[in-house]
Structure 1
């Protein structure tokens, strides 16, 4: 098998059969592959390093055809939101380089996609062009200016139809998202004061239209100056995931009150999850804080490790008792449990993967960012610390996954 480090991605980019270009967030061409240059009739020097408006102007003889302007608006939306944008089919004429002043009538179906950097911010914009001019010409039997007029009218009509459909879908998606988010928030516990300290909790939905997921948190006061704290993440999105989340959160909350430690609580939850459709591969971590004994017992079912911030700013990740997610094993197996001491002034932080994970990035990079943020804000109280973590770690365009966060001073 070929190692990813051995692949020449520059050669892959140039060999792509589709026309592809890369823009900076300032809409300057950073690169363009051979198919793109052939399609546009340009050399690399005529494109790379130039702004979109400089490299490809609109046809002055057809002021109603504003393909370049439409592309600029789409690219800016992607740069600002960090979300993919598939443009409607549109006409954009290309000036012939061998005959200045002569414009070729062309029709395109573009898609613009954000390319994120290591910090989770939009670093580049990937632009994919599909030239459908011949398809349009084949479907239309008229000729000359009449044909162009007919096609423009048809494209405008199609664009209006697509906009209407997209608006209806957007409204439907927004309604389902609102319902799912309301259901999810209704099933998350209303945080009351714990016996000695008040924890800070946060829930942030993902940036996408239907990306409300099944993240949850739970805190339970127990006898003997103990507190059980847990977070979990259901696979899936929308109403179904929110419903499963409610069942599992309630089950784990109940189990934490009677189980002999967090490992046994997760074992009970795993057995219960087998009877809940959609609960497979759910991750969760449960911890038991013993304030009198100054210890934290914990167990994880495939979940990112909690972070223990010490008063001196050092951070330990609780990763010595990790097992597969719920339902990952065909038979019941006892889950591991570990224990770590703490001193007064420490802070325990539990979270879901939306806080640290980024596409195409190793999880260790996200954990390092979390540790750095905790160290920088080690003197903050729980509420300011929770806000600082979200500000430091969630990309400006929003995370692609939900985030649940619990900050508990010890």
Structure 2
């Protein structure tokens, strides 16, 4: 910025509002021309002097609180490192022409930190709007109350903007943490034995919409067998991400030793019963046996896997669907079904962010998916996954997370 040739001192002086700069000890470092003009103090009477020596409370007003309120706001900025917007303040100013005479004044201050290289607050920016004209009586008691209300509404609107901005930043931080947690818990893209596979995860757009979608690929014990699963936890944010991690880990362990996918979901359902937030989570798991060329599957309320045959036919595996996890108070044995495949077929698992759209029947989304899978069936799994996401996800991003697994059989 220094190379741009901008005179920032001149810019500071030309700012249209009242702005002053203070040290952490509340000593004036500088004040712009508008601050000097509106405060009635010269720069010489400001710079180098303690704030409350220049602007003390009116000693003739026992209820005066401007100095105390301003000091508290500035201390909050020093302590938290965050901007602080104050409500409108009555802060009378002593007349320099008539010592002992105090002018009734109303101000709307905003205080903000300036950080040094070590991240500590080294200066305070004190911006003030003079709102006396809104408050001062120009039309009797009714006019006074109306103008006071108008000024207060104006300040409250600004305070609401400040709160909304803080909430936005807080949600953004939560989103970052949730995404980091999801990334740490989900397995990295990799080959499963000698079989080609691709996984993709796309978080929802918006700071509030980090969800609990997950996927897993597990090598099973004995023979050329793997387990492929996807799931979706109800809810958003860190809570959903934590539940997701617990369910994924539990199913991953169960799938290594279970006799079939139904038994693995039985175990997972019993575990979900004691995990707060796991109720109504959905999951589908498939056991792929490359020696027998079969896919055995079971679904707990999840969308059906797609078996893409080399000839272009897309078969949705929906013959073993049951309610979501922990939907029944008593554990019930879950169903499972088996489908055969040939070399060159492709197994695709996904979550609802890929196919569900508001005000649209789910069959329309499944039809789009089947069409895209059929057209890209000869592509390598990674290229196929990228093409499907490009075609099915909205250009502006989906409002729900999307997980996608493509395994070449």
Call closer, same or farther: CA 1:146–1:385 in 2, change over 3 Å: farther
Structure 2: runs of 5 or more not aligned: 1-134
Using the alignment, how far apart are the partners of 1:150 and 1:397 within structure 2? Answer: 44
User: Which residue in the other structure is 2:362 paired with?
Assistant: 363
Q: Which of 197, 200, 203 does residue 199 from structure 1 map onto? A: 197
User: Which residue in the other structure is 2:241 paired with?
Assistant: 242
Q: Deviations 1:119-150 (Å, cap 9, x if unpaired)?
A: xxxxxxxxxxxxxxxxxxxxx99999999988
Using the alignment, how far apart are the partners of 1:188 and 1:375 within structure 2? Answer: 28
Shift of 1:277: 0.7
Using the alignment, how far apart are the partners of 1:390 and 1:163 within structure 2? Answer: 36
Aligned counterparts, 1:39-54, within 5 A: none
Aligned counterparts, 1:32-71, within 5 A: none
Shift of 1:213: 1.1
Structure 1: runs of 5 or more not aligned: 1-139
TM-score (norm 2): 0.63
Using the alignment, how far apart are the partners of 1:245 and 1:381 within structure 2? Answer: 29
User: Which residue in the other structure is 2:313 paired with?
Assistant: 314
The answer on 1:225 being equivalent to 2:230 is: no
Maintained 8 Å contact 2:234/2:281? yes
Call closer, same or farther: CA 1:142–1:389 in 2, change over 3 Å: farther
Using the alignment, how far apart are the partners of 1:142 and 1:202 within structure 2? Answer: 65
Using the alignment, how far apart are the partners of 1:318 and 1:325 within structure 2? Answer: 17
Aligned counterparts, 1:6-405, within 5 A: 156-222=154-220, 223-405=222-404
Q: Deviations 1:36-73 (Å, cap 9, x if unpaired)?
A: xxxxxxxxxxxxxxxxxxxxxxxxxxxxxxxxxxxxxx
Maintained 8 Å contact 2:279/2:325? yes
Using the alignment, how far apart are the partners of 1:230 and 1:191 within structure 2? Answer: 14
Call closer, same or farther: CA 1:153–1:305 in 2, change over 3 Å: same
Shift of 1:185: 1.2
Call closer, same or farther: CA 1:141–1:296 in 2, change over 3 Å: farther
Using the alignment, how far apart are the partners of 1:398 and 1:159 within structure 2? Answer: 31
Call closer, same or farther: CA 1:396–1:155 in 2, change over 3 Å: farther
* SS, match of residue 235 in structure 2: strand
* SS, match of residue 343 in structure 2: coil
Using the alignment, how far apart are the partners of 1:172 and 1:409 within structure 2? Answer: 42
User: Which residue in the other structure is 2:37 paired with?
Assistant: none
User: Which residue in the other structure is 1:84 paired with?
Assistant: none
Count of matched residue pairs: 271
Shift of 1:154: 5.5
Q: Which has the larger radius of gyration?
A: 2
Shift of 1:397: 2.1
Query: Which deviates more, 236-245 or 149-158?
Result: 149-158
Q: Deviations 1:263-313 (Å, cap 9, x if unpaired)?
A: 110011001111111110110000011111111000000000001111111
Using the alignment, how far apart are the partners of 1:142 and 1:397 within structure 2? Answer: 52
